[in-house]
A = this chain, B = another copy of it.
Amino acid sequence: MVLLSGGLDSATVLALAREQGFLLHALSFDYGQRHRAELDAAARVASTLGAHSHRVIKLDLRAIGGSALTADIAVPESPTSGIPITYVPARNTVFLSLGLGLAEVLGASDLFIGVNAVDYSGYPDCRPEFIQAFERMANLATRAQIEGRRLKIHTPIIGCSKADIVRIGLQHGVDFSITVSCYQPDPDGRACAKCDACRLRAEGFAAAGVADPTRYK
């Protein structure tokens, strides 16, 4: 089970899970995000990396709001301090929980997520201590433990710089031109070049010494 957003990080994670020989089940979320173009990107990534299945769960996080990605709040176009307004409250917790449910139905014991605690936006739910606490909770939440199985949360890029992720992805056959990281792309998935996600991505390609294949508006 791989949580797949359609961005650069989760595409690399999918490629790493493939490298490890797992049968790949990708899971994406149609959660009312303003950057819905990432869902088309997720479908392309799942297909080109040979995922066995790709599901999209609909979930209206606009009912919660509180973020520039799900409410009528502008996406900042210059760096901010603290936890940024693009933080979606409890998003990784919700996504991992739904991944946990599907993993249980599929009998999967390995759940991959592309969180990153180096070149990231300062979201609390990207930290290793959060992932460890989630894994512990998950093993009490479901029938897995009762039946003697153990769910493992894999975070293969949590300690990587964006440049590392670019290099690793390229080594494992990811075509980054089909991924979308931008928080406010146009309907065709072309990026704004201004938001935090665009900035981190462009810096990653630059630091890796690789031409940026991103399609900009």
Contact = CB atoms under 8 A, between A and B. Distances in A.
A171 interface: no
Contact of A61 (B65, B87, B101, B145): B101
Nearest to A56: B63
A110 B94 CA distance: 18
A211 interface: no
A32 to B, nearest CB: 10
A3 to B, nearest CB: 14
Interface string A43-72: 000000000000111111101111000000
A77 B135 CA distance: 35
Q: Oligomeric state, in number of copies?
A: 2
A16 interface: no
A129 interface: yes
Interface stretch (A136-144, A160-168, A183-191): A136-144
A136 B56 CA distance: 29
Given A58-B60, A58-B63, A64-B101, A146 B83 contact: yes
Interface in A86-131: 87-94, 96-98, 100-102, 104-105, 124-125, 127, 129-130
Interface centre among A63, A93, A102, A127 (most CB of B within 10 A): A93
B90 A97 contact: yes
Given A66-B105, A143-B87, A143-B124, A93 B59 contact: no
B105 A101 contact: no
Interface of A: 55-61, 63-66, 83, 87-94, 96-98, 100-102, 104-105, 124-125, 127, 129-130, 133-134, 136-138, 140-143, 145-146
Given A129-B140, A133-B137, 19 more contacts: A57-B59, A58-B59, A58-B60, A61-B101, A64-B98, A89-B102, A89-B105, A90-B97, A90-B142, A91-B101, A94-B101, A96-B97, A124-B143, A124-B145, A124-B146, A125-B140, A125-B142, A134-B137, A136-B136
